[in-house]
Structures are given as structure tokens and as C-alpha cells.
Structure 1
Amino acid sequence: MVKDKEAPENPNLKNNKMFIGIVWNCVPELKLLLSALLFFCSLITLFQFFPSHFSFSVQDLRHCASLPPPPVEIQHRQIKQEDVILQGGVIKRNFNTYGTAAYNFVLMSAYRGGLNTFAVIGLSSKPLHVFAKPTYVCEWAPHNGTGNITVPGVKILPDWGYGRVYTVVVVNCTFPSPVGHDRSGGRLFIHASTSGGGDANFNLTDTIEALEEAPESLNPVQFTSPPKYDYLYCGSSLYGNLSPQRIREWIAYHVKMFGEKSHFVIHDAGGVHPDVMAVLRPWIEKGYVTVQDIREEERFDGYYHNQFLIVNDCLHRYRFMAKWMFFFDVDEFIFVPKKSTLKTVMDSLSEYTQFTIEQRTISNKLCYLDDHPGKIYRKWGIEKLVYRDTVRGIRRDRKYAVQPRNVFATGVHMSENTVGKTTHKTEGKIMYYHYHGTISERREPCRQFVNTTEMKVGGTPYMVDMTMREVAGAVKRFEMRMIGSALLTTRQ
């Protein structure tokens, strides 16, 4: 069969097919082009609604595209909150914060340690000290304008890692020569630098006015004159619903033991409620007790590192006012054997800057029943809690005393920043009876009455120790002689 002859092609149809093919193959590009046109049209429409003073230039684009400026040292200043005296003579302590988040530095206090040296006490971010190397610069600015002096500050971290978010910092500022000794007055600044904390390329410096000394206020004699007190007690922070009766026993006992030239600094973190204050007030009026309100410390984490903060503040605040300074708690009673006195013991330890005190642990549940139960409940805690834990070969906490003029910073159980010797060989000379848990609740401490001299409870051996019971009568008579019958109706 013969093929039919092919029909001639239409050139217009060929061009249409070519155009359709190009369009079909370029669909993504066309979509992008149409989207761009739609965006620019929308932008032009939007610009019609901007105010007439709005301008936009190429220079603005260059500014947006430029690199960020190099890191600079930033300084912050704020007005320092001063301590105030509340009704009844209570000293309300104010904390001053610097920095953000976990603060670079939280200033509590600053004190002179001599004509050319100062101590600044506060808290600082613990991660900052773990992961960076923050530095401190001390600056003395005299009021007479003779010229500022700066020296590197030496930081001391006395809390041995107890803190979590914060750690206690004592900054020692020692100048090469006396400053302000002409009594012209001046101000002490601390420049606290993060030195790469969090960002190695960024350094934040906070300038802190740590102390201001008014003209004519410096008394250089205080650094060399005999101290006002023989013994000064620096108390730990008091929390919770404390027993007024236990506080009553503790303060009467220790005022009697420490004598007329003694003073007790009590730090109220919420535990000095009205009933406890009623117990302390007669002794405040007699000049034996000072109460400081430090409840603001609840803003900062941890119990133990706040204890370090408080004892360091107390150390430097009163270091020239006391020959010896004691650090222990209000459920602990210092005792010396009958054949000695506190003075003879302290005189025998005078060659040491610091000594530690052994613990005797008393059961907080077992009470000695040698009388009618109704009379037992009216006895003081130190009369009926007489069963001593006699477990051997274990390490018990020790408390301590220091000669404060030779101490740079201190801890809760001892100091590692002293000038001079420390001794732990005080067994038989001085000890303390620990009534753990008997002060933190307002109820009768006796849970079980027994009248045997030795026994075991839960595998722990106990024996009767009448030492504190035997002195209770003398303490009661001393209280009556000193403050009368004002506290006879004190409840648990």
C-alpha cells in the first residue's frame, strides 16, 4: 500500500507549542517572580500608611548591616540602703544588691580593720567563682580631694562550698599606707569585675560604695585600746517557732557564765517572735544583748552559707570590742569543770588565736524521772534532759572561740584565715552540751521518762550526766537577782 503524503506543518502552531513548553518548564521561576512582584506591591501600599516624618535611607541599611560594637566595661551605681534602728532598739540590717540574676555582689557590710585596711563582707554568684575568676579592686576616695588610691582586693571564700547559688566573699582591702588617718573622711569603693563570667568576651564591672566615713568620725585609739568586753557571743541565724523557755534558760545560763564584761549578738531570721523577744528584752535593757533583724537574707539561698555571712559580719563589726569571740548555737551550753572558771581556762589558752570545743550530745527525748511527773514538767530543760550519748569512735561537731583581732575571716565550726596558732586539745578544759532539736519546737521535750543510770535506745547507749542539772539552781537564782520575776510565767 502506498503511504499517504504528510500534511504540511502550521508555523503558528509550532510556536505556540514551544511557548507552552517553555512556560511549563519554568513554573517555579514564574511563581517566584510573581511572589516578588506581589510583595513589592504590598510594601508600596503599606508605606502609604507611615507618618510623613518617617524616613528610610541607604545609610540606615549600612547601619543595620554593621558589626556590633566591641565589648565595653559597664559600671552600675545605686544608692546604698543604710541600717536603721527600730522600736525597742532592734537594729534592722539592710542588704544591698548589685548585678542581675545571681548577683555579681550582694553587699552586707564593710568595716575598718586598722588605719590602712578594711574588710568588705557579702555574697557573690557561686557559678561566677567556679567558672570564672572575678576580681576586686579597692578604691579610697578622700573627702578632701587629695587623690584617690586604688589597690587590688584580696578575696576570701570562707564557706568551703556550702553555698549553691551564692557563696560568701570577704574582700580584704589593704592599702600601702594609712588612709583617712587625718580624720578628713572618705569613701571606700569596691570595683567588682566578672572577668569573663558567662562570656569570655564580656566583662561587667559593678562599682559599689562599700563604706563612707564622715569627717572627724575615725577614732584610731579603738585599734590599740583594750577591748570593752572579755567575751562576745556571735549567734547564728534564728529561724522557726522557737521555744521561749529554752531561750530563757540559754541566755540566763550564759550571762552568768560569761560575766559582766560580756555581750550577746542575736541574729533574727524570723525566730525571734514576740514571745522570744519578751524573754530577751530584760537582758537587752541590762545591756547584755543586741538583736539584729536579718530576715532579708531569706532572699538568698541556703542556711549554712548565710550562717557564714552572719558570723563574718559579726567578726569584723565587733573585732576590736572583744578579747575573745565565741561561735556556737542556742541549743548548746558551754561548760568548764568545777575546779576552774571560764577566765582561768581562757587565760591558759591565751597563746592561741583559736581553739575548738568538744561536744557532749544529750538526748532530746529521754528525761530522768526522780520526782512526781507533774513537777518534772515544771523543771527546766537542763534539769530533766540528762541522758548523754556515749557512742565512741565517731566524729562530733566542734565549736570554737577566737581572738578576733588576729582573724581575717571565719566559719561556722572554725576559721582557716587566722594569724597565730590553733589548738584542738581542749578535752577536759572546756566542752559544750548539745541539746539538738529541743529549741526548735514549742512543746515539752520529754518523750520518755526513765530512772536508770544507763540504757540503750535504738542501739545508742546513754548514761546519766548530771553536770548541767547541778548548776540549774544557781542559774535560776542568778536570773531572779538580775531581772526579777518577769520571766517566771514563761511558757514552752
Structure 2
Amino acid sequence: MVTKEKEQIPVKEKKLLVGVIWNFSTELKLIFMALLVIFTLATLLPFIPSSFSLSASDFRFCISRFSSSAAVPVNTTTSTAVEQSPENTTETDRVLDNGVIKRSFTGYGSAAYNFVSMSAYRGGVNSFAVIGLSSKPLHVYGHPSYRCEWVPLDPTHDPISTDGFKILTDWGYGRIYTTVVVNCTFSSISAVNPENSGGNLILHATTGDPDRNLTDSIPVLSESPNSVDFELYSSKSRRKKYDYLYCGSSLYGNLSPQRVREWIAYHVRFFGERSHFVLHDAGGIHEEVFEVLRPWIELGHVTVHDIRDQERFDGYYHNQFMVVNDCLHRYRFSAKWIFFFDVDEFIYVPANNSISSVMESLEEYSQFTIEQMPMSSKLCYSGDGPARTYRKWGFEKLAYRDVKKVPRRDRKYAVQPSNVFATGVHMSQNLQGKTYHKAESKIRYFHYHGSISQRREPCRNLFNDSRVVFENNPYVLDTTIRDVGLAVKTFEMRTIGDRLLRTRQ
């Protein structure tokens, strides 16, 4: 019996321990959970950023969130009082007599420049032309003005100034920037810088803002001593360096070297020895295109201007209005005639005429426009057979002309630059003298729209008919330019040799 009692004691104690644990199981679970959280935090603590911290103020903020929920809602009239309090208005805001608060708006920085200068040139013994860009909203909604000042290098001579006459040349096509040509004609009887001692032309560009009439003074032209040839501006009988000069618009995109090769060879032959071509590279004259132009540059027929920096200023079509005006004034006294057209357009005169005879017949006009002959850039003439067709030059096989009747087609033009103050892309509206618009029997241009930017074989549709309807458009076979293809190829070979025979599309 004693032994059985001793054996039963541990059993009772075990049952008692299990009962205690069972009765306090909920509390023990909470304790274990708390310990688990503590150990977890202790493990993660080294990985928490040092910038993270909890302070007593953070706990007070949490407590205040609970207490504020029971607070009385703020009356809406209180917020109105805050709006009208002097502490919440700027110094330039003011309360009108009727209680209305007049708000003000103050600009900082430069969203668009007041004036972006590209160039300035003499237009005569006492006149200058300044070419650049300006903020279009400023000219649409404001009243900007310009004043020109000539500051001689000789300190014994006083500066002179005159009002500048601004010409907006892009017909409202500007974007953030619009093209501005400022004509500065000084009223002095004698020439500006008469002793050829040098000086600087300063353009004072005023915003015209009634509240803050800001003026930027911009040095636009500097003449060193003995650098001006005044006979260039006073002698009308002096022969020009070039009979014909081409001013090209901004060239951009991935241009086809072969199409450029064809265009330059055709026009150097067409205009002759006393011609020159000014091309403006806005990203389109990549290395392959430059290799096509290199032989003609070496012969003195081509000049390339790198104008890629103008991309910073958002104007119409890579700022082509500014570019052609710069070209006009830069070569104003170097050429008898300046032509304005594109590198996918080919000038033509009838076979019984020459370019010199046509220009002589138009000498009484300061400007004449040239009618467009629209050619397809998709349809090719296959009369030579498919194999030979693909070896032809672009203007030889693209021989179908669009004859759809339209109210008016685009025109290009030529001017006698000494009579022109500013110009556009399709014609000039700022000149002295007459303009002739009926020269279609004398001179025309064939337009292969879009062909210059295709880096591939242009022939996708071959026809051997004299009339074709394609995509609901009527076309007729026109071999006018095609017929001079052999003569152009022969001219290129005789002039620069076979350097460009391996030119790619």
C-alpha cells in the first residue's frame, strides 16, 4: 500500500500541472506572441535605416489624431477669413473697392528668348539687316520693338542710332519661335563707318511689356578697321561673283545619297559654271551624303552650312524661314539671281531656250514664280525592261506626272536679291519692283515629292502605258526630265570622274 501511494503522487502532480497550463492557455499564448514579436524586432533592428526613429512627439501625434476626431467641425467662414487675411496675399495682390481680390502673376526665368540672333549683314552704305528668332507669343500678344545703334571703335566719334523696322517672314507659321528680320537704315547722309575705322552694331530688343519694359542689348555685327568694301554697295555696274545662286532650305532626316547625287549633278550642269549652291545641314547631310557633295565642294560649286544648333529653338520646319533669309542677305551682293526651291525639285526650261536666255527676258522683274509639275514618287516607267529600269537614275524612271485638277499648286521662285528686303519659302512679299507670275512657258520645276528621303529603290509599281490611274489619281507619262538623263550622267563623268559610281540609295 505504501508503494502504491508513492507511485500515485507524481501522477496527481502531473495532472495538476496540466490543469494549470490548460486554465491559463490564453495568457500563455499572448506571452509567447509578445516574445516572438520582440525577438523578431531584435533580429530586424540592425537592418532598419538610422534615419528612422520614433520619438515621444510621434506618439503624441498619434494620440492627438484620436482626440481630434471628436472635435467640433470648423465653420466654412473661418477658411474665408483666412483667404482674405493679409498674411495670405502677396505684395502685388490688392483688394479692389468692391472687395474683389485682384491676383497677380509674376514670371521668372526664360520660357522663350526675347531674341535669338543668327546673323547680321550690311544692306548698303548706311543700312543693315539682322536675322534671328523671337518668341512668337511675344509678337502675337505683345508689342516688341527694336532699335539699332552703331558704336564706332574710334572714341572721338559719337554713336548713332535708329529705329529698326521688323519684318515677320513666316506668314504666321511660326511655332514657339517666329522668324524676324530687322532692317536698320540710318538717316545719316554719309555712310555708317565712313572712314572704315571699324565699329559694332548693337540691337536693342525691347519686349514692349507695359509693366516691365525689358530691353536686351545684343552685339550683332562687328567691323574691324579697313574691312568694308564700300564699292560693293555703291556700284551697280559691278559684275557679280555668281550669275545664279541656290539657297536651300534646312536639310533633315535620313536623305538618300543617290537622289542627292542626281540632283546636284543635274543642276550644276543646268545652271553652268557661274553658279553656286548653298546647302543647310539640319541633320540631313550625314556622312554618305557628304561624300556625294565632296567633289562639287572641291570644285567650288557647293558650300555646306552646319545649322544643327538651331534645333534648340522650335520654329517652323527646322527654322527654314530664318535660314533662307540668312542666305539671302549673306549673298545679296554676290549673285545676280538667287533661286529658292528644294532638293526633290528639278528646274527645267524648254529645249529651244537656255537658262541665260530665260533670265535675260525676265530682267525687268525683281521676282518671278515657277510653276510646279508634280511627279509620282511611286510609279516607274518600265519601257526599258525591268532589269535596265532598276539601273536607271531616279528621275529617269519616275516618269509619271500627276494631272489631277486642283485650284492651285505650290510655286517656287527666284529673285534679284539687291531688290529684296526679306523672303519666304514660296515667294517674297518684301521687295521693291515687280513680280511676274506667268512664266510657265519659260521655266518650270518637276517635283518628286518625298523621293529624297527614301533610302531604297523607289520603283514599286512598273507601268508601260502613256496614261495610268493609280489610287484614284490620273497620271500621264512625262519624259521631260528623263530625256536629259544621259547628258547629266555624261556631264558628271567628265567633271568629277567615276568617284560616285558606287553611290548607294
User: What band does the TM-score fall into relative to the shorter chain?
Assistant: 0.7 to 0.9
Structure 1 partner of 2:28: none
Q: Which of 153, 174, 181 is the aligned partner of 1:170? A: 181
**Partner amino acid for 1:168?**
T
Aligned residue number for residue 134 of structure 2: 124
Corresponding residue number in structure 1 for 2:66: none
Q: 2:377 aligns with which of 364, 370, 384?
A: 364
Q: Deviations over 1:292-346 (max 9, x none)?
A: 0001111111443711000000000000000000000000000000000000101
2:259 alignment partner AA:
R
Q: Which string of whole-angstrom CA distances, capped at 9 and with x for unpartnered residues, describes residues 455-476 of structure 1?
A: 1112211000011111010000
Structure 1 alignment gaps of length 5 or more: 1-64, 69-98
TM-fit CA distance, 1:391: 1.3
TM-score by length of 1: 0.79
Give the aligned length.
395
- Aligned equivalents of 1:187 and 1:478: distance in 2? 47
Alpha-carbon distance between aligned partners in 2 of 1:171 and 1:410, rounded to the nearest angstrom: 12
Query: In structure 1, what is the equivalent of residue 260 of structure 2?
Result: 247
Distance 2:168 2:304 in 1: 26
State, as a whole percentage, how many aligned pairs show the same letter.
65
The superposition leaves residues 183-214 of structure 1 with CA deviations (integer Å, 9 ceiling, x where unpaired) of: 11100000000011xxx311111000000000
Among residues 160, 164, 179, which one is paired with 1:149 in the alignment? 160
Q: Could you tell me how far apart the structure 2 residues matched to 1:107 and 1:380 are?
A: 41
- Alignment of 1:455 with 2:468, yes or no, is yes
Q: How well do the aligned residues superpose, as a CA RMSD in angstroms?
A: 1.4
Q: Is the 8 A contact 1:162 1:305 kept in 2?
A: no
| 1:141-164 Cα deviation digits (max 9, x unpaired) | 001120000111000001110112
Q: Shift in Å at residue 67 of structure 1?
A: 9.1
Q: Which amino acid aligns with 2:252?
A: Y
Q: How does 1:56-455 map to 2 (within 5 A)?
A: 100-145=110-155, 146-177=157-188, 178-196=191-209, 200-223=210-233, 224=235, 225-304=238-317, 306-455=319-468
Task: Please state whether the residue corresponding to 2:500 is helix, strand or coil.
Answer: coil
Match of 2:57 in 1: none
Which structure 2 segments of 5+ residues have no match?
A: 1-89, 94-108
Contact conserved, 2:175 with 2:316, CA < 8 A, in 1? no
Determine helix, strand or coil for the equivalent of 2:319. helix
Q: Closer, same or farther in 2 for the Cα pair 1:67/1:449, shift >3 Å?
A: closer
Cα distance in 1, alignment partners of residues 446 and 419 from structure 2: 28
Which segment is superposed worse, 314-323 or 299-308?
A: 299-308
For residue 467 of structure 1, what is the aligned residue in structure 2? Answer: 480
Asked if the contact 2:208/2:214 (under 8 Å) is kept, the reply is yes
SS of 1:211 mapped into structure 2 = strand
Measured against aligned partners, the alpha-carbon deviations of 1:331-363 in whole angstroms (never above 9, x if no partner) come to 000000000000010110000000000000000
Q: Could you say which residue in structure 2 is the equivalent of 1:15? A: none
User: SS of 1:180's equivalent?
Assistant: coil
Counterpart code for 1:163:
G
TM-score, scaled relative to structure 2:
0.77
Query: What secondary structure is seen at the aligned counterpart in 2 of 1:153?
Result: strand
Distance in 2 (alpha carbons) for counterparts of 1:303 and 1:273: 22
**2:495 aligns with one of 478, 482, 487:** 482
CA distance in 2, matches of 1:160, 1:371: 46
Alignment partners' CA distance in 2, 1:427 and 1:479: 28
CA contact (8 A) 1:234 1:314 kept: yes
Regions of 4+ moved over 4 Å? 65-68
Describe the SS at the equivalent of 1:235: strand
Closer, same or farther: CA 396–66 of 1 in aligned 2, 3 Å: closer
**SS of 1:218's equivalent?**
coil
Task: String of CA shifts for 1:85-129, please: whole Å, max 9, x gaps.
Answer: xxxxxxxxxxxxxx8221000000000011100000000000001
